């Protein structure tokens, strides 16, 4: 690029930034939606839609055709055999053709740690998902240091140990309220009545979002993280843009309302919006709409999917392993380790994506600059080299806490202690109330290659005996 080109590029960026700062974020979402509709009309390209078909056994396919990005792999229970074969025969595996383009899969525990802790070579930008997002928003989990570190620092205080101690009584009170109002005379959907409800209440608290409207947070999270182009999900392009625009409008209103209240002398809260408003690095985030939008989506999706699916996964794991449930009831001191084992066993987010910043030899393969590299946490958490009898659910597993569901390095999950605390409290309160939690029939699983979770799971409770 010559001097003139560089000057023009800088001028273009300056104009784009100025335009972004002057156009409200919901209008930018609306404009992006119109552009997308026009593009579809002109190009006559139909939106990507996945149709479920039986997935072949891993042993019946050539190694080069093993596709672990299939959004039905988890639902059909094939993921164990697919990842096991990759770990054994091609731990750093290249798939040349998939619905999400070519990508490398890293499937062994130690290799995943090596990629996750090397941001100098493996970039988190521009996305953490295998596909692409309809809008090119910016979020700190998909940024490299040093920008990532600055933005993360602005909000991580909300989950600092002192704040967690103050939140514990509130979380316990809300868990008790939800559990005390569950039906015991008939089956009910655990995902809706417990997992979604508890995570919705916690998210509303963290964001200081109107409590009565907390289910909006769940809807936005599910819709935004579930596009076909991004993760193989069921969200249509139109639903994505409508949900994103609605979320933007609501949080713009919340941002300006909180700013006005603080200007009138109201004491600052300790929620994520206030923390962003009072940090030098993020106090003008509202003027950087795509960054504002991206970080909100990150906080909502991150706080929703992981804890919610671990809450459901733990119930299913203990139902399928009644000896472990009896062991837990006999020794509640195992709850903390059980929580780690649940998070390992469930692995609520299956992977994180990176992009090679340079040509690199890794795991016996040559990865070119610009290649997608997917770290499959779901596989690393079942790696026989790290975990003995890895597919078994063992609540007193000695190294359960070494699971990789929270990631490693600079991108390690910011809310990991909060998630663990919510799960610990839920199990403490469950053991105090119920002798048995029986899962009725097969759960319904989410269609996604990213979120390893549940749409519906019917359960029947047996209250604790008073004898």
Report residue 263 as tokens.
């200007």
CA gap 458, 443 in Å, rounded: 7
Give the chain's length. 467
The CB-side HSE value for 286 (13 A sphere, CA atoms) comes to: 19
* Fold assignment, 23-463: Cytochrome p450 (1.10.630)
17 has pLDDT over 80: no
Mean pLDDT (whole number) for 388-400: 98
Average pLDDT across the chain, whole number: 89
Q: What is the mean pLDDT of residues 279-307?
A: 82
d(CA 94, CA 287): 41
* pLDDT tens digits, one per residue of 197-235: 999 998 998 888 999 999 999 999 999 889 999 999 999
Q: Is residue 2 over pLDDT 60? A: no
Average pLDDT in the 138-163 region? 77
| Tokens encoding 449 | 């290659």
- The DSSP bridge partners found for residue 361 are 366
What was the pLDDT predicted at 1? 45
* Paired tokens of 218: 């769940």
Q: Which two tokens stand for residue 165?
A: 């101690």
Check residue 11 and give its pLDDT: 52
**Strand order through the sheet with 434-439:** 188-189, 458-463, 434-439
Q: Give me the pLDDT at residue 7, please.
A: 57
* pLDDT at residue 156 tops 90: no
Kindly tell me the sign of the dihedral angle through the C-alpha atoms of 414, 302, 127, 241. Answer: negative
């Amino acid at each position: 690029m010559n001097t003139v080109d560089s000057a023009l590029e800088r001028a273009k960026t300056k104009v784009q930034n100025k335009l972004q700062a002057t156009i409200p974020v919901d209008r930018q979402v609306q404009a992006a939606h119109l552009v997308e509709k026009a593009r579809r009309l002109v190009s006559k390209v139909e939106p990507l839609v996945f149709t479920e078909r039986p997935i072949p056994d891993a042993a019946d396919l050539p190694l080069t055709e093993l596709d672990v990005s299939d959004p039905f792999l988890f639902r059909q229970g094939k993921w164990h055999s697919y990842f096991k074969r990759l770990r054994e025969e091609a731990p750093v595996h290249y798939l040349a053709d998939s619905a999400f383009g070519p990508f490398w899969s890293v499937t062994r525990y130690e290799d995943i740690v090596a990629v996750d802790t090397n941001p100098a070579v493996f970039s988190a930008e521009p996305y953490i998902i295998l596909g692409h997002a309809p809008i090119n928003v910016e979020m700190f989990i998909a940024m490299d240091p040093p920008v990532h570190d600055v933005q993360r620092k602005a909000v991580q205080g909300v989950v600092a140990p002192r704040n967690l101690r103050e939140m514990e009584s509130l979380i316990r009170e809300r868990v008790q309220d939800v559990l005390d109002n569950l039906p015991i005379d008939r089956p009910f959907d655990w995902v809706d009545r417990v997992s979604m409800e508890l995570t919705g209440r916690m998210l509303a608290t963290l964001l200081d979002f109107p409590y009565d409207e907390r289910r909006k947070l769940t809807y936005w999270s599910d819709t935004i993280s579930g596009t076909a182009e991004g993760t193989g999900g069921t969200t249509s392009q139109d639903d994505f843009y409508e949900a994103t625009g609605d979320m933007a409008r609501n949080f713009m209103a919340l941002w300006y309302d909180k700013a006005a209240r603080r200007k009138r002398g109201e004491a600052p809260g300790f929620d994520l919006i206030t923390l962003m408003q009072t940090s030098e690095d993020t106090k003008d985030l509202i003027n950087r709409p795509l960054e504002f939008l991206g970080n909100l989506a990150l906080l909502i999706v991150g706080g929703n999917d992981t804890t919610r699916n671990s809450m459901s996964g733990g119930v299913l794991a203990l139902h399928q392993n009644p000896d472990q449930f009896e062991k837990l009831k006999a020794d509640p001191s195992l709850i903390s380790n059980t929580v780690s084992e649940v998070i390992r066993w469930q692995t609520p987010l299956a992977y994180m994506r990176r992009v090679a910043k340079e040509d690199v030899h890794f795991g016996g393969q040559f990865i070119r600059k610009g290649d997608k590299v997917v770290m499959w946490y779901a596989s690393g958490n079942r790696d026989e080299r790290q975990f003995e009898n890895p597919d078994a659910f063992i609540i007193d597993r000695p190294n359960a806490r070494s699971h990789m569901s929270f990631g490693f390095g600079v991108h390690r999950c910011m809310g990991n202690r909060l998630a663990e605390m919510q799960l610990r409290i839920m199990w403490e309160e469950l053991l105090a109330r119920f002798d048995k939690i029986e899962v009725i029939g097969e759960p319904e699983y989410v269609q996604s290659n990213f979120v390893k979770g549940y749409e519906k799971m019917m359960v029947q409770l047996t209250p604790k005996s008073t004898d």
